[in-house]
Amino acid sequence: MRGPGQANPGDARQTARLVRLLFVLQCISMGAMEMSGPFWPIHLRAMSSSDAVFGFAGIAVYVGPMLGIVLTSAFWGRIGDRYGHKPMMLRALAGLCLTQLALAWAQDVWTVLVLRFLQGACAGYIAPAQAYGVSIENPLRRGRLFAFLQVSTNVGSLMGAVVGGLILDLATFFWINIVAAALCASCAAAVALCLPAVPPAAAPASDAKATRAARGKDWCTPQVLMLLGTIGLLQMSRMIPQTPFSLYVSSVFDVRNWVVGLCYGSLALGFIVSAAPWARYFERRQPDDTLRRMGVVVAACAALMTLAACTRSIAVFVAVYFLWGLLLGATTPVLTALISRTAGNARQGHLLGMTQSVSQISSIAGISLGGWLSQAAGLQYTYVLVAAAYLMALLPMLVLQRRCGPLLAGRPVDPA
């Protein structure tokens, strides 16, 4: 029974209001983190004692938070399943606030790197926010929920980078971190005051014995593992061009920096435009039908990346990036919703935390692979590798359709 002030999933208007609030909070908090994102190399260059230290720090400052999330996200998810996801959101925002404050006063490279790792390990806001959203949203609308929250992350990233650049033009890097800490503190206050507590979902009584026997292993089914592998391969494919992107565009097309930024932003713009329509398109389809149609989307991504590798027209390249963003809006949010449907509400935090960990590991792999390829083989092969990675992502989807589709389709969705 729900206590006073607690969310009632049956109240559609209240649920819509809470989901919109989650969108705003995620947009602001992720924007706060991205305010410093593009400018860490500038800050670290001034701190570094040598080129070797700077080269290491320039990678570790981005990989560190991802590694922290990989190591702790599933743990925090299990804690959220047991004690509620609102406390985990507050814990994450408090961690972001405190580490940003500490980073403002950090005076050497190694302190910055340790704090960035702790930022990922202590924070990890996205997974508990998703799990909280699942606890209040209609199960049939989970795809739309995940798309909505990922759009929020993309909007926050775009806005944060612009605001961070403005602050750096007017002040110093110190103030980027101070403003980010203040924004995270305000988000924590909003979560505490405006989001109702939702008690942890209990496993069905009929499954209690099985739940106790399988505790800690309930997510480890062939279907979930293959879906996680698919998400991982898709995320890796997306991140391969991250490191060589600006060098590739500048050298191949010989354009100015604002055009490079336009190309980069067109991907996020395509995602923002398409994520919600894709979620509505897929939300009432059966899992096997979803996988078949998702295979077409992934094959289209591979074809677009082949075109990106061949074109020497900047207009075509920008259009390809925008279309790629449109297709990406159909991938991770829909597959995350499919994973969410395989677990009961009592295990959402653990499973979504695991999904977040896989995504971060894959991002690290994609960034590393793209950086290595640009040095070892040359920039011209970047998008050939991306296309090959997308074709590789089709393999677990085909296996799921042929062998595990009926099992996946047969899993019931727990009522909200």
Percent of the chain with pLDDT over 70: 86
SS3 state at 197: coil
- Per 3-state DSSP, the chain is made up of helix, strand and coil in percentages (nearest 5) of 80, 0, 20
Cα-based distances in Å from 43 to 29, 112, 347, 408: 21, 10, 41, 48
* pLDDT tens digit sequence for 381-413: 889 999 999 999 888 888 776 665 444 544 444
Closest CA to 353 of 216, 183, 196: 216
* pLDDT tens digit sequence for 336-348: 878 777 665 666 6
pLDDT of residue 210: 44
CA geometry: angle 334, 264, 283, nearest 5 deg:
10
Contact (Cβ atoms closer than 8 angstroms) between residue 76 and residue 124: yes
* d(C-alpha 271, C-alpha 265), whole Å: 10
**Assigned CATH for 212-409:** 1.20.1250.20
* d(C-alpha 33, C-alpha 17), whole Å: 25
Q: Which burial class, exposed, middle or buried, applies to 282 when counting CB atoms under 10 A from its CB (0-12, 13-18, 19+)? A: buried
Lowest-confidence segment of 288-297, 314-323, 330-339 by average pLDDT: 330-339
Neighbours of 71 (CB within 10 A): 15
Structure tokens at 198: 């939702």
**CATH superfamily membership of 1-202:** MFS general substrate transporter like domains (1.20.1250.20)
Cα-based distances in Å from 272 to 128, 154, 300, 325: 22, 7, 19, 8
* d(C-alpha 391, C-alpha 380), whole Å: 19
pLDDT of residue 153: 84
* d(C-alpha 339, C-alpha 396), whole Å: 14
Cα-based distances in Å from 343 to 1, 148, 161, 214: 22, 21, 36, 13
Contact (Cβ atoms closer than 8 angstroms) between residue 183 and residue 28: yes
Report the length, in residues, of the chain: 416
Question: Is the per-residue pLDDT at 157 higher than 80?
Answer: no
pLDDT of residue 408: 52
At position 346, the amino acid (one-letter code) is A
Question: Is the per-residue pLDDT at 415 higher than 60?
Answer: no
Question: Is the per-residue pLDDT at 201 higher than 70?
Answer: no
* pLDDT tens digit sequence for 104-126: 999 899 999 999 999 988 877 88
- For the ranges 223-227, 277-281, 313-317, the maximum mean pLDDT occurs at 313-317
Question: Helix 40-47 and helix 109-122: axis angle, to 10°?
Answer: 140
80 against 139, higher pLDDT: 80
> Boundaries of CATH 1.20.1250.20 in the chain?
1-202, 212-409
* d(C-alpha 188, C-alpha 191), whole Å: 5
Unique residue bearing structure tokens 């399988």: 214
pLDDT of residue 203: 52
Closest CA to 328 of 262, 243, 400, 238: 238
CA torsion angle for 400, 405, 410, 411 (degrees, to 10)? Answer: 20
Contact (Cβ atoms closer than 8 angstroms) between residue 73 and residue 124: yes
What region, left, alpha or beta, does residue 103 occupy, with left being phi > 0 and alpha being psi -120 to 50 degrees?
Answer: alpha
Q: How many helices (H) and strands (E) does the chain have?
A: 18, 0
Unique residue bearing structure tokens 């209609």: 138
Neighbours of 226 (CB within 10 A): 20
Cα-based distances in Å from 223 to 270, 287, 312, 339, 393: 29, 11, 41, 9, 15
pLDDT of residue 349: 67
